Every structure is written in C-alpha cells, then in structure tokens.
Amino acid sequence: TQPVLAVIGRPNVGKSTLVNRIIGRREAVVEDVPGVTRDRVPYDAIWNGRAFTVVDTGGWDPDAKGMAERIAAQAEVAIAVADAILFVVDATIGATDIDDRVVKLLRASGKPVVLAANKVDDQKGELEAASLWNLGLGEPYPVSALHGRGSGDMLDAILEAL
Ligand code: GDP
Ligand code: MG
C-alpha cells in the first residue's frame, strides 16, 4: 500500500484545487461556494515516479455554528490516517485563529507537515507567504494551485515528508 498525504486547511483556501494540481486531473470538486468537498476523498497521485494517495478534506459549512470545532475534528481524523500532512493556508489572508488551532494539532501529532502558502499567483505574493514562517512549521512553500506556480518544489518537499 502506498503512503498517504492528507490535505487539510480552512474552507476556501484552495485544497481541492491543489489536489487537482497534485494528481494532474480535475477530479476534486472546486467550488466558489465554500464547503462542498465531502469529508475525506482519496485520489491516486504520482510524482517523480513515486506513487502516493492524496486525501482531500472538507465537508463542513463555514457559516455553521461550531465551524472551528468541526474543522479541528476533521483535521484530527485526517492527521490520524495520514503519513504526512499538506497544510494549506491562503497566503492572501494569512493565518487565522482556526489555522493556529490546527497548527497545535499538527504539532501534537508529530507527523511530518508540508506548509503550502496558496494563492501566490505572482511574485508579489511571496512576501505574504514568507510571513507564514511564524507558524513554526518550517518553510512555507508558496504555490498557486490555480496556475501551478511553485507546485514542483512543493511536491519535492511532499516526497521527502512521505
Ligand atoms: P477548498 O474549499 O479549500 O477545497 O478550496 P477550493 O479548491 O474549492 O477553492 C476555493 C476557491 O479558491 C475557488 O474559487 C478557487 O478557484 C480559488 N483558488 C484556489 N486556488 C487558488 C490560487 O492558487 N489562486 C487563486 N487566485 N485562487 C485560487
Ligand atoms: Mg474542497
């Protein structure tokens, strides 16, 4: 069986778009309306000849009461089933309280984490991405899931983490 990468992060940060980028197919559902991804959906991925499973997560309504709790609970399950985690933050927004909470779970898990600073569509977004060093998860990888910018370096880091 192949190693498992779980993709976690707040609604609308671009997890499903990034999953499609990673698998090279448009299978994960991307929506302008947040919260459409089912709980955990696995896809087969391959990078540099190494196969792995990438698990997209979602399934919560960001307007629902207790959203933070649901995200945390979902993240805990995803972390438990994963060999490594791709934690996605929207670099144009920066880290929120919910992100800080997920960071604590990630730290407690002891599992390897790759930090993706998504929506860095051009060079001027790189500065915002660099501020995510503050999360204490190591190097933030600036990526544009939409355009593919930076995805090669991120995938190399993923293979090292798996
Ligand atoms: P998820 O809820 O985290 O799975 O986020 P989605 O993948 O569904 O994306 C949410 C929205 O963000 C959609 O409108 C995407 O087109 C948009 N989006 C995702 N990645 C990027 C990116 O790299 N750049 C920009 N500008 N928009 C993005
Ligand atoms: Mg999604």
List the CATH number of the domain containing 16: 3.40.50.300
Instruction: Say whether pLDDT at 95 is over 60.
Output: yes
Amino acid at 145: A
Q: How many CA atoms lie within 13 A of 142 on its CB side?
A: 18
| 73: containing domain | 4-161
Res. 68 pLDDT band, cuts 50 70 90: confident
Ligand 1 site residues, Cβ closer than 6 angstroms: 9, 11-17, 30-32, 34, 37, 58, 118-119, 121, 144-146
How much distance in Å is there from the Cα of 90 to the middle of ligand 2? 13
Count Cβ atoms within 10 A of the Cβ of residue 63 and give its class: 0-12 exposed, 13-18 middle, 19 or more buried. exposed
Residues 6+ apart with CB under 8 A from 101: 68, 71, 72
pLDDT tens profile 2-51? 999 999 998 899 999 999 999 998 877 776 555 555 678 899 999 999 99
Predicted confidence band at 98 (pLDDT cuts at 50, 70, 90)? confident
Residue 38 assigned ligand-binding role: no
Instruction: Give the least confident one: 20-29, 77-86, 120-129.
Output: 20-29
The pTM for the full model equals: 0.93
Q: How confident is the model at residue 75 (pLDDT cuts 50, 70, 90)?
A: confident
**Residue 46: CB partners within 8 Å, gap ≥ 6?**
52
- Is the pLDDT confidence value at 81 over 70? yes
Domain count of the chain?
Answer: 1
Tell me phi and psi for residue 134, to 5 degrees.
Answer: -60, -20
pLDDT value, residue 152:
97
- Cα within 13 Å of Cα(67), Cβ side: 15
Q: What Å distances lie between residue 81 and 42, 54, 121, CA to CA?
A: 11, 11, 31
Across all residues in the chain, what is the average pLDDT?
Answer: 90
Q: Residue holding tokens 């898990």?
A: 109
Instruction: Specify the pLDDT at position 60.
Output: 58
Ligand 2 ion: residues within 5 Å (CB): 15-16, 37, 58
Complex ipTM > 0.95: yes
- Does residue 104 surpass a pLDDT of 70? yes
Weakest mean pLDDT among 39-43, 81-85, 153-157: 39-43
Q: Which residues of 36-46 are buried (b: 16+ CB within 10 A; e: fewer)?
A: ebeebbebebe
* Banded model confidence at residue 62, pLDDT cuts 50, 70, 90: low
Distance 40 CA to ligand 2 centre (A): 10
- State the Cα–Cα distance between residues 120 and 126, nearest whole angstrom: 6
The answer to whether 110 is a known ligand-binding residue is no
